[in-house]
Amino acid sequence: MRELGPNFDIHAGGVDLVFPHHENEIAQSEAYLGKPEFARIWMHWGSVQLSQKKMSKSEGNVLPAREAIERYSAGAVRLFLLNSSYRSPIDYAESRMAESQTAFKRIETSLSRVFQKLGEVDEGPLDDGLMAQFSGALNADFNTPAAVATLHDAVSLLNEIMAQGIGTGTERPASICRTALIFTSVLGLPIREAQEEHGLLDRLMTKVIQWRQELRKQKHFEMADSIRDDVSEIGILLEDSVEGTTWRRK
């Protein structure tokens, strides 16, 4: 009471704590204080399960978050968790984590391609339709799966525009990209950190692509192909199109 006052705005905990713990808190606190509504909003989350059993130290089936992040990535782990309602149990499976890693890389790659074409996109209007869809999802009992689906919608739109060629109409992809970046920030997906790291590599790869293009102009195709194969060995894919060459991590 000294630190927080007699009432809470939000009280959270696992679904297994509703009875007896939280009901007991309500009974004791409201009886002692003589005030109703001990907590205005209750958010009870589902447990993380491994092979249909709740992860817990007592069960001996705990997978440390650090280990999951090292095996996949922080972005993949967060995306995996966000793809279920906070109220629902989450059944951990390697296959689902691998799918989340693939999905996270897809988001990262799409935004990276737009950055390569447009540069910084921080200033300017947002996509109102996508913003309304995203806000509506989070206002509906914090529906993160629907919010993540909206992020995927934005990425799909960007991929379609990039496939057709941006040309001179750069405002729409820039607007969608800005909106998608807000989504990743709200969801806690570390795209910004990846983009900062990406900056130096992007400048280096721009030079590599220029060298390769110059070799092709001079008809040194074998050397140009060798550059493509060398960067592929270290996990970077060069993609040629009518609009030029772009790169992405595999």
pLDDT single digits (tens) 21-62: 999 999 999 999 888 889 999 999 998 887 677 777 766 778
Is the same domain home to 117 and 15?
A: no
What's residue 193's pLDDT?
59
Q: Has residue 213 got a pLDDT over 60?
A: yes
Is the same domain home to 13 and 54?
A: no
Is the same domain home to 205 and 222?
A: yes
Is the same domain home to 36 and 66?
A: no
CA separation for the pair 51, 37 (Å, rounded): 38
Record the pTM. Answer: 0.75
Domain that holds residue 30: 1-45
Cα dist from 226 to 11, 52, 212, 217, 243, whole Å: 59, 49, 9, 15, 22
What's residue 197's pLDDT?
55
Average pLDDT over residues 176-194: 88
Nearest-CA neighbor of 111 among 201, 186, 205, 176?
A: 176
Give the total number of structural domains in the chain: 3
End-of-domain residue from the set 142, 167, 189: 189
Is the same domain home to 74 and 169?
A: yes
What's residue 192's pLDDT?
65
Is the same domain home to 125 and 199?
A: no
Is the same domain home to 31 and 67?
A: no
Is the same domain home to 22 and 35?
A: yes
pLDDT single digits (tens) 143-184: 999 999 999 999 999 999 888 876 555 788 999 999 999 999
As a whole number, the mean pLDDT across the chain is: 88
Angle at alpha carbon of residue 162, lines to 109 and 126, rounded to 5°: 85
CA separation for the pair 237, 250 (Å, rounded): 6
Residue pair 70/42 in contact (Cβ under 8 Å)? The answer is no
Phi, psi angle pair for 61, to nearest 5°? -120, 35
Task: Report CA torsion sign: 110, 112, 116, 119.
Answer: positive
What's residue 217's pLDDT?
92
What's residue 135's pLDDT?
98
Is the same domain home to 80 and 27?
A: no
pLDDT above 70 covers what percent of the chain?
Answer: 93
What's residue 221's pLDDT?
92
Is the same domain home to 68 and 178?
A: yes
Cα dist from 14 to 11, 27, 48, 53, 108, whole Å: 11, 19, 10, 14, 32
CA separation for the pair 194, 197 (Å, rounded): 5
pLDDT single digits (tens) 122-151: 788 999 999 999 999 999 999 999 999 999
Confidence of residue 232 (pLDDT cuts 50, 70, 90): very high
End-of-domain residue from the set 167, 189, 211: 189
Is the same domain home to 29 and 53?
A: no
End-of-domain residue from the set 173, 189, 205: 189
Which residue type sits at 136? G
Is the same domain home to 237 and 198?
A: yes
Residue pair 85/145 in contact (Cβ under 8 Å)? The answer is yes
Q: Is the peptide bond before 20 cis (omega within 30 degrees of 0)?
A: yes
Identify the CATH number of the domain in which residue 161 sits: 1.10.730.10
Residue pair 104/73 in contact (Cβ under 8 Å)? The answer is yes
What's residue 153's pLDDT?
98
